Amino acid sequence: MKHLDLESLGFDEGAHLLVKHALVGLRPGERLSVTGAAPSLTVHLRAWCRGLGHGFEPHSGDQGGVVRRGAADVGRWRGADLAGSPDDVAEEAPSHWGLGARGCTVEAGAPEYGFALRSRDEVWAEDAPRLYAQGVAAQWDPATAVPWDAPFDLDDEVEDAVVQVMTYLIENETAALVVPARFASQVHPHYREVLQLLALQAADEARHIEVFTRRALLRRERPGLSTVGGQASLKTLVDEREFAEATLLLSVLGEGSFLVLLHFLHEHGPDPVTREICRLAAQDEARHVAFGVSHLAEQARRAPALLGRLESCVRRRHDALATTAGLNEEVFDALVVLAAGSWTSSALREGWKRVQALERAMHQGRKLRLARIGFDDAAAEELAGLHTRNFM
């Protein structure tokens, strides 16, 4: 029989840790003799053993007693549940796993959590861990990554065009923050990489809002115009309650189109600040689009009926916005001005052509991404054409 002398250490001072340590390696039924000089040691040792399912026999006339190691599955951890495996994603995450780390042992009686998205089919993408790691490594600081002090001189009309485009970007990126932030709170933590990726996406959008706002106010006292049509288009994104449908509308169609727009602004921006913030934002948006496509393609392979739901949501949004103006005239004109580079007739003609080419590139990109999800060519072509004229 093993022996442990606690000396004067009491259970109110951490003596249980020495007892637990001494029991390591003992098989169920084997015994440990515990002695010590602390007051009430026998009472405390007896209560501790009862709570953990160990047997106990007091020493006759002495403090302490003999602890008989209980079975591994008795006591407090009887009925405990393993929260899956650290390396494998479960098909379904029970609500009582709660906030426990994936693969941990969950004590019986843990509270039920109301996470709405708790199945692999609803949230998972094999690319999620890689995209999260990539996103963390690619974070940038607006204060140091952007050449805010770079010298440049723009005509008032060109500066006004930049401000209007920045104002448009701000409200669209705000929608792109609100949507993933809402769904992040609904994802069961078992799917932690998706939860982390959505949180990172919201952080990216917060950074984009910061730099677009700072550029808008760099040479002006206030931002530009926000239109009813633009707000109506974005409200359909914010109001979408289904994760798959919101992912399609926001990440695959909306942010996919925005990615093309940011590349356009990086190429045709009239100053180094505008060009650099659009380049940096495009890097982030590419990850958001990649997750949306990866997630929906994987879920559509597992459940082909998803494509019908996605098609319905595109048509529903198109019908809801049929009477709105879409992209406001001020933003369209501002893009033409920036693409033109000057106010000559020939330059404006070229700027107009470039904006038309931008819209065609957006359409083609939407079509390709819809095809990657699983739509055939005809359906991808039609659905790409039904996307909101507001781009996002």
Of 52, 131, 77, the closest CA to residue 295 belongs to 131
How far apart CA 288 and CA 186 sit, in angstroms, is 18
| Across 275-304, average pLDDT | 97
| Across 343-358, average pLDDT | 96
How far apart CA 271 and CA 312 sit, in angstroms, is 42
Residue 370: its pLDDT value, please? 98
| Across 76-105, average pLDDT | 92
- Determine contact, residues 199/179, Cβ cutoff 8 Å: no
Residue 75: its pLDDT value, please? 62
The string of pLDDT tens digits covering residues 16-52 is 999 999 998 898 899 999 999 999 999 999 999 998 8
Number of H helices, E strands in the chain: 15, 6
Of 350, 342, 146, 368, the closest CA to residue 252 belongs to 368
pLDDT band at 265 (very low <50, low <70, confident <90, very high): very high
pLDDT band at 369 (very low <50, low <70, confident <90, very high): very high
Q: Sheet containing 2-5: which strands, arranged edge to edge?
A: 2-5, 31-35, 65-68, 55-58
The string of pLDDT tens digits covering residues 53-72 is 899 999 987 789 999 998 76
pLDDT band at 326 (very low <50, low <70, confident <90, very high): confident
Check: CATH 1.10.760.10 for 120-386? no
Burial code (b: 16+ CB inside 10 Å, e: under 16) for 70-86 equals beeeeeeeeeeeebbee
Q: What percent of the chain has pLDDT over 90?
A: 91
The string of pLDDT tens digits covering residues 99-143 is 999 999 998 889 999 999 999 999 999 999 999 999 999 999 999
Residue 102: its pLDDT value, please? 96
Structure tokens at 43: 């009472």
Q: Parse the chain into domains and list their residue ranges.
A: 2-68, 79-114, 120-386
Q: What percent of the chain has pLDDT over 70?
A: 99
How far apart CA 299 and CA 131 sit, in angstroms, is 17
Q: What are residue 247's phi and psi, to 5 degrees?
A: -65, -40
pLDDT at 231 over 70: yes
Q: What is the DSSP string of 259-272?
A: HHHHHHHHHH-SSH
pLDDT at 381 over 60: yes
Find the helix or strand (DSSP H, E) in which 211 lies: helix 192-216
Structure tokens at 347: 């330059």
Q: What are residue 242's phi and psi, to 5 degrees?
A: -95, 135
How far apart CA 187 and CA 295 sit, in angstroms, is 14
Cβ neighbours of residue 34 closer than 8 Å, sequence gap 6 or more: 3, 4, 6, 19, 22, 41, 45, 64, 65, 66, 67
Of 210, 300, 324, 323, the closest CA to residue 247 belongs to 300
Q: What are residue 386's phi and psi, to 5 degrees?
A: -85, -5
Task: Name the CATH superfamily housing domain 2-68.
Answer: TusA-like domain (3.30.110.40)
